[in-house]
Amino acid sequence: MRPRLPIRRILFLRPFRPPNSLRPFTQNTLISKSRPQLPFLSSPNRRPIARFLTTERKQWIKDEVRKAGKYTAVIWTGSFLLLVIAFGVQQEWLERKFPSPHEWSWVTRKDYRSARWNEDHDDDGNNLVDWARTGEAYRRLLKRLEDPNIDGAGLDDVVEGGILVAGVGKTGYDISMKPESWRRGYYEIMMGAARAAEHLDGWVRDRTRNVAFPASVVIGPSNPNPRPVPPGAKSPPREEDCEPAFESPDTYYMKILTTHGFTEKQRVDAALACGSWLDYKQTPEAASQIYQWALDIATSSSADVVDSTAILHPEIRNPSANILSATTALAVHHALNKRLSEALPIFISVLRARRTLQDVPATMRSTLIPDEENDGIWKAATSLVRSAIVAPAYPPPPDDGTAAPLRGPKERCEEAGIMTYIGEILYASKQSRTSREDGLAWTREAVDIAEEELRRKGIGKDAKITCKQCLAVGLGNWMTMVTKMAKEEKEKQAANAGSWLAFGIEQKDGIGRWESEEQVIKERMRRSAEILATPGKSAGSSNFLTV
């Protein structure tokens, strides 16, 4: 038996560690940088450190700022250019609709087109024209044209130092040295200012707010019962803060009449407009003087055309357009003021003179229908491009009215209008049955002529306007005359039916002559409504018909 060897125990001594010290493995692990910093492994009382602005984020922010600046510049530049293009297209369109003289400065031409555009809104009949704004625009234009430092270089007073007329102001200038287009534009601006002054008659301007109001809404001692302002309008002004909104129309009309350089027709038209305004203001004496002034201007180039009562001589052939306009306006003035015995001879002489006018020559060109399709697409495209690039030329000067007009559709409608006046006077001046029937006959013929010319093809714009006015007034007068005669006819029939003389006589049930004609007029009105611009006004009558 082998002897048992003693067992040896080998002790593995560990190095001495101080109390509460970490183990080397644990210490090395915690301070290692390769361990991820996860939230659930972090100490609760220790805030995580994060880098919000990294290199990549800086580069991204720079790119975004650069893009934002580029897009902003492109958008604002594009918007500005689009506005400029839209403004340019609008001005080109307005220039073609309301041509302005090329001698004026660019600002004056732009303001002129804007003023005409503001006034043009009244053509639709909506009566939404801001006449205070339009009148102020015309006033500024006149100041620019009369300023020697802007567009009024070379203007001279008619008399040295000028003349001041009581209630009117300074008389006109001598513009004979200016180009014709400049003079024509100057005339249109003054006529536009006169129209604005007529619409602003009786209006006041609040000095504190520079706003125009009707005089009926002003609060003050002179207006104890002011009318309320419309809903949405500004508060009414006080009387002590108000002044007249615009000058009197006489200021501009007299300035035109005392200006040297206007054509005969321009001066006659201004005088007739001034006379019409004075008739509206119920000053017949002053209106008579203005109408006589217009007739003197019209006859200055023709001697021995009318007599002292403004009646055209029977031997006169082809009188000028200015003479026809002046004599007709004077006759209407007499009729408005119940001087029918003076108006009727003038109307008859004017109608006789108009029928001596020469007809429009029917040339070969006017009888053929123009073949526009043969021009070709290329020519039409070239014309369109050229009109878009080349500035439109100022229209040629119109007729000065010193020559006799041709007897076209417009002149025939003027004849129909004079026949309407004659029919009114014959019907209203005498109460005899014959006179009334003669007035009706003149009115019927005038309506037939106006409707025939209005339905004619190829009629011009001015002629169409004249014919529509004549047809509307003629139908209204015809209806007024026949309605009264039908009423008298019914009353007479009712009186005869109750009389003992009619005892035993069988009464016929039927309509009378004038009642049946009244039905005919209603049918004519219905049929003519499609060719009238304002069908609802076809039953209107003129101003001096008294029945």
The model's pLDDT over 444-501, given as tens digits with 9 standing for 90+, comes to: 999 999 999 888 887 888 888 889 999 999 999 999 999 988 888 888 877 776 555 5
- Per the listing, tokens 């304002």 go with 534
Q: What is the 3-state secondary structure (H, E, C) of 215-226?
A: HHHCEECCECCC
Structure token pair of residue 399 = 């007729």
Give φ, ψ of 223 to 5 degrees. Answer: -135, 80
> How many other C-beta atoms lie within 10 A of the C-beta of residue 182?
21
CB 115 within 8 A of CB 192: yes
Q: Which of 347, 445, 456 is nearest to 410 (CA)?
A: 456
Q: Radius of gyration (Cα) for the chain, nearest Å?
A: 44
Residue 529 has pLDDT above 50, yes or no: yes
Cα–Cα distance measured from residue 78 to residue 277, given in angstroms and rounded to the nearest whole number = 51
289: pLDDT confidence band, cut at 50, 70 and 90?
Answer: very high
Q: What proportion of the chain, given as a percentage, has pLDDT over 90? A: 42
Give φ, ψ of 98 to 5 degrees. Answer: -125, 85
Cα–Cα distance measured from residue 346 to residue 313, given in angstroms and rounded to the nearest whole number = 10
Which is more confidently placed, 6 or 401? 401
CB 153 within 8 A of CB 207: no
| DSSP class of 501 | G
Residue 547 has pLDDT above 50, yes or no: no
What local confidence, expressed as pLDDT, does residue 165 receive?
55
User: What contacts 124, CB < 8 A, 6 or more positions away?
Assistant: none
Contacts 24+ apart (CB under 8 A), 489-496: 489/513, 489/514, 489/515, 490/515
Helices 284-298 + 321-336 axis angle, to 10: 160
pLDDT in tens, 310-369: 899 988 888 999 999 999 999 999 999 989 989 999 999 999 999 999 988 866 445 544
pLDDT in tens, 33-82: 555 666 665 566 656 556 677 888 889 999 999 999 999 999 999 999 99
Give φ, ψ of 306 to 5 degrees. Answer: -125, 160
Cα–Cα distance measured from residue 263 to residue 270, given in angstroms and rounded to the nearest whole number = 11
Structure token pair of residue 279 = 């008739």
pLDDT in tens, 388-397: 777 788 889 9
Sign of CA dihedral 500, 504, 510, 516: negative
Residue 305 has pLDDT above 70, yes or no: yes
Structure token pair of residue 297 = 């201007």
Compute the mean pLDDT over every residue in the chain, rounded to the nearest whole number. 82
Residue 143 has pLDDT above 60, yes or no: yes
172: pLDDT confidence band, cut at 50, 70 and 90?
Answer: confident
Span 5-20, average pLDDT: 56
Span 511-527, average pLDDT: 86
Q: What is the 3-state secondary structure (H, E, C) of 97-145?
A: HCCCCCCCCHHHHHHHHHHHHHHHHHHHCCCCCCHHHHHHHHHHHHHHH
Q: Which of 380, 381, 388 is nearest to 89 (CA)?
A: 388
Write the DSSP string, 327-358: HHHHHHHHHHTT-HHHHHHHHHHHHHHHTTSP
What local confidence, expressed as pLDDT, does residue 73 receive?
96
Cα–Cα distance measured from residue 544 to residue 547, given in angstroms and rounded to the nearest whole number = 10
Which is more confidently placed, 94 or 509? 94
User: What contacts 326, CB < 8 A, 6 or more positions away?
Assistant: 268, 271, 272, 291, 294, 295, 297, 298, 299
Tell me if residue 214 falls in helix, strand or coil. Answer: strand
Cα–Cα distance measured from residue 137 to residue 114, given in angstroms and rounded to the nearest whole number = 8
What local confidence, expressed as pLDDT, does residue 390 receive?
77
| Burial (Cβ within 10 Å: 0-12, 13-18, ≥19) of residue 32 | exposed
